[in-house]
Structure 1
Amino acid sequence: MKDDNLGDSLEYTTGAEAMGDGLSRARTSFGKQPVLGILALVASMALSIGIIGLLDAELFATWVTFFVVICVPVHIVISMAWELNYPSFSRKLKQPLKGAFFMALMLLVAAAIAVTVHYAQPIHAGPPTPFVLMYVIFCVLVTFWFVIVWNCWPLSSLLDNRLLLGLGILAVAYGGGYGLFTLLFDFDAMSAAPFYSAAMDPGGAFPAFHVLAYSVTTVSVVFFCLLFDFWPITLFPILRAQPLMGLVSTIYILGLSAAVYWMGVEWLDMEPVKLMVNVSIGFLFGSLIPLIMFEGKLFGNLRQPWKGIAQCAVAVIAAVTLPSIYWELAPLVSGPLNSGAPGYQYEFWMASALLAMTFPIMVVVGKFLDFWPLRFAPIR
């Protein structure tokens, strides 16, 4: 596992291709990109909206969001660190059994983490509050930073064991995430809210909504860099190895994120939460379309930065069009929701629908199931 570039795993390589087992691919039109990705995206969105429609709005906003957010670091470990090849016996599994196995493993590990997080709180009665919801969301952001930007360094240089590396990633996500959460997040501005508890407030350095919005913005910039394969940083061979690449990338990403955040909040006078949902989460979700649904193959004949520009165009189109579908459907599937302060019901519903529900489903469809049954449909 040493020196692996884990970030490359988001540019999808199928399990059969990675193992070189010679499994033949279907040659039907809907088994090829971009039709395959479009059909899988439609199915993922429809399944996500259908599940949300079956849930009570409060249940979805609390317990369900809490659990599915915790699933995200686990599926990052399974799909990016383990590359669907660990445990070793899973390499011999065929679809859809392989996908079902990894989905069950993800749910089992996420359930153990959810129970631990819930009962580790100073107060753990009732549905998850914004304190714990923001914490688990922040842990997802830490996971993306650690895996994509830092390629799991220094763990990746110390550990050859896939199991230990995966557990190490989760330890960094929730242990390191907790440390940063207590240092950064302050909920004093919400002290009049019914959910507020002084025992739960870490009393960090910055207002919680501002920290969360900026942190999400940094991850959207991470995915922007991923679309460009971290060009122009990778132009310089000396910067391609950790920890120097992680350090330079961190400075680059934080600087771009600060510029985006300043333009949105100060120049355009946007509320931090609305900037986070409408701009940062919108683009982050849009970037998943070329990376996961289209497997990074749409513009494989182009070199950087032209490939990144083309993928970015697809991501922007997706970021503009797809969230609008959710926006229109939200009142139909979850009833009336209030937009804006103080509760931001509409905004947090959108964030949960896009990244907490649809993103994991896209990973299950595109990674765990390897687009089964579309890719493996028989030739007629």
Structure 2
Amino acid sequence: MSTEVSTGAGGLRQPALGIVATLFLLILSFAVIKLSGNIFATWIAFLFMCCVPTQMLMALAWHTDLPKFAAGLTQPVKGLVFLLMTLVAGAIVAALAVAVIGKGHTPPTPPLIMFIIFSVVCTFWVMALWRLYPFTLIFKNPMVAGIVGLVTAYVVAWVLFVSLFNFSFLAGAPVYIAEQDPGGAFMAWDVLTFAVTTVAAIMMCTLFDFWPVTALNKSGNPLLHGLLGSLYVLIIAAAVKCFCTYILGMDQVVYMVTVPISFIFAVFVINVLLESSLFADVAQPSRGFLSLGGAVILTIVCKQVYMAAAPLLSGDMPAGPPTYALDLWIADALLAITFPLIVAFCDYFNFWPFRR
């Protein structure tokens, strides 16, 4: 998940590299969805999402430089080793989540899937916004700091999940299992849509290299960065969500897919697939505003591309309430399938074989 421009020692260079990689990953993700069939929206999406926090640890916190035994390998062996470690970690997380959150019931139900999504949100906060502070201060070993940070993200996710999420709105539906409902303070969709919006706000901050937080925190104090960044992200997320759902009157689920999820994916294309090569020579905050404009355009394009692909891959599905079948399909396709494939390909395999 590096945001540095890297042309590599050979092969394609940016932005051609990113464009080719994007097309390749679209084809790959569509193939996974097509081959998944009826279990795409349950087991496949769930298992892929269980791997994402570990991917963030390895790519965002460790930059695939740790563990050392894997970092020194050549491609594609290095990528395969990191991928294997991620799959093992994801399998452990999946088993624990099914036992603790899902109460042993399968296939994955809305509470279980929402918890896994929420754990990804909390990992973004711990690693992208707080940059593993204070764990990097407490633990001098970066591997220990990273693992403790990842575990903390899951613990925070669990505490907030049981405190905030309420699924009583599903009572009477076939997917509702009473013992899985933590009976939290707020309707589950209210919490999840806001939480996902905070991730979109964090991703927007990366386009600006966290300006204006960095301008206000000239000393670079990590605690002040985390506090200022958190306040900034919460204000942006609240403003965007309120504007779209209360002023524009967008349905919550439709909003979540159309705005924050599609935007997160668009920023990943810019930051990870294109390695921030767009406007690289422009100083901040101008570069951020230009990148934000590009991300907004990509947000619209990405959703349209996946919306067009949906009936070809999984058949006709109704959009909007009450089932949100098409909307949730797009959300799963974007962030549960293509997102982890992007991280694996770009960070684990370093664009191999397109870049050598």
Cα deviations by residue, 1:9-34 (Å, 9 ceiling, x for unpaired): 631476xx9xxxxxx711x5xx1110
Task: Pick which of 218-227 and 158-167 moved more.
Answer: 158-167
Deviation at 1:119, TM superposition (A): 1.8
Counterpart check, 1:307 vs 2:287: yes
Distance in 2 between residues matched to 1:160 and 1:317, nearest whole Å? 42
1:51-200 to structure 2, matched below 5 A, reads: 51-57=32-38, 59-121=39-101, 123-200=103-180
Cα deviations by residue, 1:45-99 (Å, 9 ceiling, x for unpaired): 1100111011123x11111111101111010011122211112122321111111
Distance in 1 between residues matched to 2:97 and 2:258, nearest whole Å? 29
Distance in 1 between residues matched to 2:5 and 2:144, nearest whole Å? 23
Distance in 2 between residues matched to 1:56 and 1:228, nearest whole Å? 40
Counterpart check, 1:25 vs 2:9: yes
From 11, 20, 45, the equivalent of 2:3 is 11
Q: Does the CA contact (< 8 Å) of 1:239 and 1:245 recur in 2?
A: no
For structure 2, list consecutive stretches of 5 or more residues without a partner in the other structure. none
**Measured at CA, do residues 259 and 121 of structure 1 come closer, stay the same or move farther in structure 2, by a change above 3 Å?**
closer
From 24, 35, 39, the equivalent of 2:20 is 39
Q: Does the CA contact (< 8 Å) of 1:103 and 1:368 recur in 2?
A: yes
Q: Which residue of 1 aligns with 2:305?
A: 325
Task: Pick which of 63-72 and 189-198 moved more.
Answer: 189-198
Cα deviations by residue, 1:82-138 (Å, 9 ceiling, x for unpaired): 211112122321111111111111111111111111122363122010010000000
Task: Pick which of 307-316 and 136-145 moved more.
Answer: 307-316
Give SS of 1:243's match.
helix
Q: Which residue of 2 aligns with 1:21?
A: none
Cα deviations by residue, 1:222-250 (Å, 9 ceiling, x for unpaired): 10011001111111344631211111111
Cα deviations by residue, 1:243-267 (Å, 9 ceiling, x for unpaired): 1111111111111111111111111
Distance in 2 between residues matched to 1:261 and 1:331, nearest whole Å? 29
Deviation at 1:297, TM superposition (A): 2.2
Cα deviations by residue, 1:272-311 (Å, 9 ceiling, x for unpaired): 1111000111111101111001111222211111110121
Q: Which residue of 2 aligns with 1:247?
A: 227
Deviation at 1:373, TM superposition (A): 0.8
TM-score, normalization by structure 2 = 0.96
Q: Does the CA contact (< 8 Å) of 1:81 and 1:165 recur in 2?
A: no
Q: Does the CA contact (< 8 Å) of 1:218 and 1:253 recur in 2?
A: yes
Q: What CA RMSD, in Å, does the superposition of the two structures yield over aligned residues?
A: 1.5
Q: Which residue of 1 aligns with 2:268?
A: 288
Deviation at 1:162, TM superposition (A): 2.9
Q: Which residue of 2 aligns with 1:340?
A: 320
Give SS of 1:287's match.
helix
Give SS of 2:222's match.
coil
For structure 1, list consecutive stretches of 5 or more residues without a partner in the other structure. 1-8, 18-23
**Measured at CA, do residues 257 and 122 of structure 1 come closer, stay the same or move farther in structure 2, by a change above 3 Å?**
closer
Distance in 1 between residues matched to 2:244 and 2:193, nearest whole Å? 11
Structure 1 residue ranges, 4+ long, deviating more than 4 angstroms after superposition: none
Give SS of 2:180's match.
coil
Deviation at 1:148, TM superposition (A): 1.1
Task: Pick which of 63-72 and 167-176 moved more.
Answer: 167-176
Q: Does the CA contact (< 8 Å) of 2:194 and 2:237 recur in 1?
A: yes
Q: Which residue of 2 aligns with 1:264?
A: 244
Distance in 2 between residues matched to 1:13 and 1:78, nearest whole Å? 19
Q: Which residue of 2 aligns with 1:370?
A: 350
Distance in 1 between residues matched to 2:196 and 2:58, nearest whole Å? 22
Give the partner amino acid of 1:40.
A
Counterpart check, 1:233 vs 2:213: yes
**Measured at CA, do residues 228 and 201 of structure 1 come closer, stay the same or move farther in structure 2, by a change above 3 Å?**
same
Give SS of 1:128's match.
coil
Q: Report how many residues are paired.
A: 356
Q: Does the CA contact (< 8 Å) of 1:288 and 1:315 recur in 2?
A: no
Q: Does the CA contact (< 8 Å) of 1:233 and 1:239 recur in 2?
A: no
Distance in 1 between residues matched to 2:57 and 2:131, nearest whole Å? 12
Deviation at 1:356, TM superposition (A): 0.7
Deviation at 1:192, TM superposition (A): 2.1
Q: Does the CA contact (< 8 Å) of 2:98 and 2:106 recur in 1?
A: no
Q: Which residue of 1 aligns with 2:204?
A: 224
Distance in 1 between residues matched to 2:118 and 2:217, nearest whole Å? 32
Distance in 2 between residues matched to 1:113 and 1:12, nearest whole Å? 30
Give the partner amino acid of 2:245.
V
Q: Does the CA contact (< 8 Å) of 1:48 and 1:353 recur in 2?
A: yes
Give the partner amino acid of 2:24.
A
TM-score, normalization by structure 1 = 0.90
Cα deviations by residue, 1:145-184 (Å, 9 ceiling, x for unpaired): 1111111111111112233223212212211100011111
